[in-house]
């Protein structure tokens, strides 16, 4: 297995292993936190001395260190653990196999996505070892605290988030193009396994929801590093002294952009979980899923509406009844497709011949556990009930039911289910059952009392578990119970790890299709051969045709194997990816064109986030735009003219045109640098005002896009068709895609010009 | 039980001392106009406008993707009609594919 492989299976395993390591670390942080909650300010036994004298003097966890543990537990579990395992791990490994493709559409981009993700994780974890320690402003990083906190780790957190956002964007472009373009012959949309649909919708959510957080991350980074005040309002007092910043910022801007990602992120967690459970259940109940089409339409609808609910996290800001009513309504609506999918999975069980295998135990337990997590979320979607429950343990109980015995159980089900495919060996069933029952009991003992604590008014994020307050003291015994359950849960996970590693080495050999399942991945060897299939699969039926009347066996595989070997290159190091040069007839597009459109869509959302910040800050700013006097309309038009010249040069489509367009781009960048220098000499720096900060940010992000174009033009001008393997049609496709990209760069500049020079 | 209560009380005492020392240091006390629920604040007005602007953009982007999904479905149907769907038929003796049910797969 090569470390820098482009094989989707290797990358999938890399994602899964890395994510599981992060999950283990995040889980370990939680075990330490639970000690502090159960036995506040008592030395942590055995390992207390390892945290250092600053963090845990005498082995006693300081409140500041508790905050760091809490912030990093949430960050690691969500951003570095569950999502990468569900999307990067399962998605990468299974998508090409389940659609009959030899790899992802852009294998090298896939590799880049993984390494960006791994780098993000390393940067974030390294924050524990820098002066001041890890971020301590919670996993939501709310300003003003996150901006004024002196810990270096917060800056590293932001850099990590930017890397993660970039990784997610590349990964989601790849996933969408792969699913739309690389489906095997006969695999129509309504023959796709539900897992693939879930991954497709998830990829769209990541593609469109992450960029605004990227914008917010850049702004917070500027606030911390360049002393701007995107999130710091005028008159802010810190340490009994007014904060020495320009002000005019707005902390609600962060909440707005953060939750624009973080709420869809819930569905990024849960949709792949639904997909995995659908696959595991159908194979273990020996009958088709009930309501497949309904489930698919619900997943797509869920994806759409989930991007219109984010402001329900801001009810407490006093945003007003009109806006609250709108977001309450969309929040109630988004619960409907979730309930439909869950109900369809429940109804599928009726009349099934259920096999209680280890993966199916996890899948079956997922249903009521996620149901509990989902239903307890409804009161939080209504402003009247959200306000008293906000920031209490009730919220913690709700989302842990969604993520832990919900999503994590689905992921465990997936690991047990596809382990034979990945390794060619079976996991130990006895250990698996112990793992299941132990996890089920322990998780419920940990999370259910949180509802009791929350309804009693116990706040979250209290380093002493709430014993400072009288009502907290009456609830303290629950913290002790939860602590012991958490440590028991840790012991049970050791069983899982032992099972995983021992089975990988010495497990019983598994046949190619041990579960007698129908989807395509089970019709190739275990582990799958290079480029997946010995012969090209052709699809004859839907994904869940179990127990069909008249069939010889109780499962009818999706594919009929045909002798043609199209698209399979056994000797080459890279798979032959179809539709790079040609247009796929039933989508009328090629991979590069589609990939570029999707990339542009994500960039629209990035600039959308930035312009939303512009609108928000401008509307609330009492002293907006004095620095506009330093900007010359002629200069702005000059920049526009250079970009348009580059556009015209690109139209030639040859190497000379590309080279000249690259030169034009360089001229733009040179003039931009000169413009920045002149502004700085006149005293207009990012910290001067929110206008100046936004000007520098938006124009710098735009300039980065110009730089990206220049590099691409230069690369293809220099290498010509050799950059596309000597294929002129592929070269033409790339040039066409770059031209579209440059149109977007032009348009973005026109908007920047209008916003800062004209309005 | 008594030991546990003593432990809790001792922890409370330590927390009180720590809190006193922390407050006396005079750092990290934050006063923020937004946090005090000033519903007339221009900061809240602007936040509403910001949320609204993002909502409008999202509706446009999602609408575009919705139209594209619809187009993809139409293209697939057209392709099936003209190219005989490119689908492989089950082998003799195999049951007919369930998806051919007029009400759709699995219903």
A260 assigned to some structural domain: yes
Mean pLDDT of A714-742: 92
Q: Which of B29, B37, B75 sits opposite A240 (nearest CB)?
A: B29
pLDDT at A690: 92
A300 assigned to some structural domain: yes
pLDDT at B9: 59
| Contact between A308 and B106 using a beta-carbon 8 Å cutoff | no
Residue A273 structural domain? 8-234+251-506
Sheet holding A241-242, edge to edge: A241-242, A237-238, B30-31
Judgement on whether residues A634 and A754 belong to the same structural domain of the protein? yes
The percentage of chain A sitting over the pLDDT mark of 90, rounded to a whole number, equals 81
Who's near A170: CB < 8 A, 6+ residues apart?
A: A109, A110, A112, A113, A116
Compute chain B's Rg from CA coordinates: 33
What total number of domains does chain A contain?
2
**pLDDT tier, A534 (very low <50, low <70, confident <90, very high otherwise):** confident
pLDDT tens, A471-502?
A: 889 999 999 999 999 999 999 999 999 999 99
- In terms of pLDDT, which residue wins out, B14 or A535? A535
Q: Say if CB A282 and CB A363 are below 8 A apart.
A: no
Is pLDDT of A564 > 50? no
Judgement on whether residues A148 and A291 belong to the same structural domain of the protein? yes
Judgement on whether residues A136 and A282 belong to the same structural domain of the protein? yes
| Contact between B11 and A540 using a beta-carbon 8 Å cutoff | no
- Residue A417 pairs in a beta bridge with none
Mean pLDDT of A6-17: 96
Residue B20 contacts A where some CB pair is shorter than 8 Å: no
Domain boundary among A478, A506, A534: A506
Q: Say if CB A159 and CB A222 are below 8 A apart.
A: no
Who's near A490: CB < 8 A, 6+ residues apart?
A: A27, A28, A31
Mean pLDDT of A651-680: 95
| DSSP three-state, residue A372 | helix
Q: Which of B31, B32, B85 sits opposite A251 (nearest CB)?
A: B32
A431-A433-A436 Cα angle (round to 5) = 110
Instruction: Give the span between the Cα atoms of B11 and B67, in whole angstroms.
Output: 61
Is pLDDT of B31 > 60? no
Closest residue in B to A300 (Cα) is: B66
Domain boundary among A450, A483, A506: A506
Structure-token pair, residue A330:
């969309």
| Contact between A616 and B107 using a beta-carbon 8 Å cutoff | no
Residues of B in contact with A605 (CB under 8 A): 57, 61
Q: Which of A291, A545, A586 sits opposite B107 (nearest CB)?
A: A291
Q: How far is B31 from chain A (nearest CA, A)?
A: 5
pLDDT at A318: 76
CA–chain centroid gap for A677, Å, is 37
Residue B43 contacts A where some CB pair is shorter than 8 Å: yes
pLDDT at A335: 94
| Contact between A615 and B50 using a beta-carbon 8 Å cutoff | yes
The percentage of chain A sitting over the pLDDT mark of 70, rounded to a whole number, equals 98
Q: Which of B31, B38, B90 sits opposite A540 (nearest CB)?
A: B90
Give B36's DSSP letter.
G
Residues of B in contact with A587 (CB under 8 A): 72, 75-76
> Under the phi-then-psi rule, with left for phi > 0, alpha for psi from -120 to 50, and beta for the rest, what region is A391?
left
Q: Say if CB A239 and CB A634 are below 8 A apart.
A: no
Burial class of A645 by CB neighbour count within 10 A (0 to 12, 13 to 18, 19+): middle
Judgement on whether residues A616 and A499 belong to the same structural domain of the protein? no
pLDDT at B45: 84
Judgement on whether residues A313 and A441 belong to the same structural domain of the protein? yes
Judgement on whether residues A645 and A496 belong to the same structural domain of the protein? no
Q: Name the pTM for this structure.
A: 0.92
Instruction: Give the span between the Cα atoms of B35 and B37, in whole angstroms.
Output: 6
**pLDDT tier, A721 (very low <50, low <70, confident <90, very high otherwise):** confident
A670 assigned to some structural domain: yes
In order of A255, A259, A303, A308, B59, the CA distances from A264 in angstroms are 14, 8, 8, 9, 15
Instruction: Give the span between the Cα atoms of B50 and A690, in whole angstroms.
Output: 15
pLDDT tens, B72-100?
A: 999 999 988 887 545 555 555 555 555 44
pLDDT tens, A220-230?
A: 999 999 999 99
For residue A703, give the CATH number of its domain: 1.20.120.80
User: Cis ω on the peptide bond leading into residue B26 (within 30° of 0)?
Assistant: no
Of A425-434, A464-473, A607-616, B10-19, the least confident: B10-19
Judgement on whether residues A488 and A619 belong to the same structural domain of the protein? no
Structure-token pair, residue A408:
């994590």
Closest residue in B to A254 (Cα) is: B47
Q: Closest Cα partner for A557 from A95, A178, A187?
A: A187
Is pLDDT of B71 > 90? yes
Q: How far is A37 from chain B (nearest CA, A)?
A: 11
pLDDT tens, A110-150?
A: 999 999 999 999 999 999 999 889 999 999 999 999 999 98
pLDDT at A284: 97
Residue B26 contacts A where some CB pair is shorter than 8 Å: yes
A633 assigned to some structural domain: yes
- In terms of pLDDT, which residue wins out, A241 or A112? A112
A365 assigned to some structural domain: yes
A23 assigned to some structural domain: yes
Residue B11 contacts A where some CB pair is shorter than 8 Å: yes
Instruction: Give the span between the Cα atoms of B105 and A294, in whole angstroms.
Output: 10
A154 assigned to some structural domain: yes
A583 assigned to some structural domain: no
Judgement on whether residues A615 and A490 belong to the same structural domain of the protein? no
Judgement on whether residues A497 and A619 belong to the same structural domain of the protein? no
Mean pLDDT of A382-403: 92
Give me chain A's average pLDDT, please: 93
Judgement on whether residues A615 and A477 belong to the same structural domain of the protein? no
Closest residue in A to B86 (Cα) is: A186
pLDDT tens, A618-643?
A: 998 878 877 778 888 999 999 999 99
pLDDT at B26: 39
CA–chain centroid gap for A346, Å, is 27
pLDDT tens, A24-43?
A: 999 999 999 999 999 999 99
The percentage of chain B sitting over the pLDDT mark of 70, rounded to a whole number, equals 39
Q: Closest Cα partner for A595 from A207, A224, A303?
A: A207
For residue A31, give the CATH number of its domain: 1.20.210.10
| Contact between A604 and B61 using a beta-carbon 8 Å cutoff | yes
Judgement on whether residues A335 and A456 belong to the same structural domain of the protein? yes
| Contact between A609 and B54 using a beta-carbon 8 Å cutoff | yes
| Contact between A601 and B104 using a beta-carbon 8 Å cutoff | no
Q: Say if CB B80 and CB A190 are below 8 A apart.
A: no
Mean pLDDT of B42-55: 89
pLDDT at B69: 95
Domain boundary among A506, A526, A546: A506
User: Cis ω on the peptide bond leading into residue A144 (within 30° of 0)?
Assistant: yes
Q: Using CA of residue A121, residue A123, residue A124, residue A127, what is the dihedral sign?
A: positive
């Amino acid at each position: 297995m090569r470390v820098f492989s482009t094989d989707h299976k290797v990358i999938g395993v890399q994602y899964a292993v890395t994510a599981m390591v992060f999950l283990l670390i995040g889980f370990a942080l939680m075990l330490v936190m639970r000690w502090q909650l159960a036995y506040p300010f008592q030395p942590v036994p055995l390992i207390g001395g390892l945290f250092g004298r600053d963090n845990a003097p005498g082995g006693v966890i300081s409140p500041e260190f508790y905050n760091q543990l809490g912030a990093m537990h949430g960050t690691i579990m969500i951003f570095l653990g569950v999502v990468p395992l569900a999307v990067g791990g399962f998605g990468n490994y299974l998508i090409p196999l389940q659609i009959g493709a030899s790899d992802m559409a852009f294998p090298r981009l896939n590799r880049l996505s993984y390494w960006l993700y791994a780098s993000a994780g390393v940067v974030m974890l390294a924050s524990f070892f820098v002066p001041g320690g890890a971020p301590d402003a919670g996993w939501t990083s709310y300003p003003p605290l996150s901006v004024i906190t002196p810990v270096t780790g917060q800056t590293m957190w932001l850099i990590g988030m930017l890397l993660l956002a970039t990784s997610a964007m590349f990964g989601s472009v790849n996933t969408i193009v792969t699913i739309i373009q690389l489906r095997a012959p006969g695999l129509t949309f309504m023959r796709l396994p539900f897992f693939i649909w879930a991954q497709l919708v998830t990829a769209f959510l990541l593609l469109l929801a992450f960029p605004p957080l990227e914008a917010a991350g850049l702004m917070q980074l500027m606030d911390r590093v360049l002393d701007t005040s995107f999130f710091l309002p005028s008159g802010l007092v810190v340490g009994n002294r007014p904060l020495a910043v320009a002000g005019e910022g707005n902390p609600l801007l962060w909440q707005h952009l953060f939750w624009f990602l973080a709420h869809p992120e819930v569905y990024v967690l849960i949709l792949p979980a639904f997909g995995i459970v659908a696959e595991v259940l159908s194979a273990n109940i020996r009958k088709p899923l009930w309501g497949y089409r309904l489930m698919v339409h619900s997943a797509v609808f869920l994806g759409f509406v989930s991007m219109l609910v984010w402001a329900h996290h801001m009810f407490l800001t006093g945003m007003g009844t009109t806006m609250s009513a709108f977001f309450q309504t969309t929040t109630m609506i988004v619960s409907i497709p979730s309930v439909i999918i869950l109900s369809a999975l429940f109804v599928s069980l009726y009349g099934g011949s259920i096999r209680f295998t280890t993966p199916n135990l996890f899948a079956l337990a997922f249903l009521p556990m996620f149901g509990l997590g989902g239903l307890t979320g409804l009161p939080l979607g209504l402003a009247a009930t959200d306000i008293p429950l906000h920031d209490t343990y009730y919220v913690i109980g709700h989302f842990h039911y969604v993520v832990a015995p919900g999503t994590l159980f689905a992921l465990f089900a997936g690991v047990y289910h596809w382990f034979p495919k990945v390794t060619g060996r079976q996991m130990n069933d006895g250990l698996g059952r112990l793992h299941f029952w132990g996890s089920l009991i322990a998780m419920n003992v940990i999370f259910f009392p949180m509802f009791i604590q929350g309804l009693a008014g116990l706040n979250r994020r209290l380093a002493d578990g709430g014993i400072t307050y009288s009502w907290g003291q009456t609830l303290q015994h629950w913290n002790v119970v939860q602590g012991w359950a958490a440590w028991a849960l840790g012991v049970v996970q050791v069983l899982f790890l032992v099972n995983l590693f021992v089975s990988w080495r010495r497990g019983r050999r598994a046949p190619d299709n041990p579960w007698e399942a129908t989807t395509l991945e089970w019709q190739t060897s275990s582990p799958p051969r290079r480029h997946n299939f010995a012969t090209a699969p052709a699809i004859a039926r839907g994904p869940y045709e179990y127990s069909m009347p008249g069939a010889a066996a109780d499962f009818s595989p999706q594919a009929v194997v045909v002798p043609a070997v199209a698209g399979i290159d056994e000797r080459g190091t890279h798979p032959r990816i179809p539709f790079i040069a040609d247009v796929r007839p039933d989508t009328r597009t090629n991979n590069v064109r589609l990939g570029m459109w999707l990339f542009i869509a994500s960039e629209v959302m990035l600039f959308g986030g930035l312009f939303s910040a512009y609108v928000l800050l401008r509307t609330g700013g009492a002293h907006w735009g004095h620095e506009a006097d330093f900007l010359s309309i002629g200069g702005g038009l000059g920049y526009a003219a250079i970009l348009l010249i580059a556009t015209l040069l690109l139209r030639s489509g040859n190497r000379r045109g590309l080279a000249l367009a690259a030169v034009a781009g360089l001229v733009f960048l040179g003039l931009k640098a000169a413009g920045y220098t002149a502004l700085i000499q006149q005293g207009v720096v990012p910290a001067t005002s929110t206008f100046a900060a936004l000007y520098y940010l938006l124009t710098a992000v735009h300039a980065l896009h110009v730089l990206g174009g220049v590099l691409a033009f230069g690369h293809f001008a220099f290498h010509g068709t050799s950059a596309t393997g000597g294929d002129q049609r592929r070269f033409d496709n790339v040039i066409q895609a770059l031209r579209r990209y440059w149109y977007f760069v032009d348009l973005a500049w026109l908007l920047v010009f209008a916003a800062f020079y004209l309005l | 039980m008594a030991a546990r209560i003593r432990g809790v009380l001792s922890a409370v005492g330590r927390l009180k001392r720590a809190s006193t020392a922390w407050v006396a240091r005079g750092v990290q006390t934050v006063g923020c106009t937004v946090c005090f629920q000033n519903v007339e604040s221009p900061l809240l007005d602007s936040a509403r406008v910001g949320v609204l602007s993002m909502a409008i953009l999202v509706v446009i982007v999602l609408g575009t993707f919705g139209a594209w999904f619809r187009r993809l479905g139409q293209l697939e149907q057209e392709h099936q009609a003209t190219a005989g769907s490119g689908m492989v038929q089950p082998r003799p003796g195999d049951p007919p594919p369930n998806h051919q049910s007029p009400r759709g797969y699995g219903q």
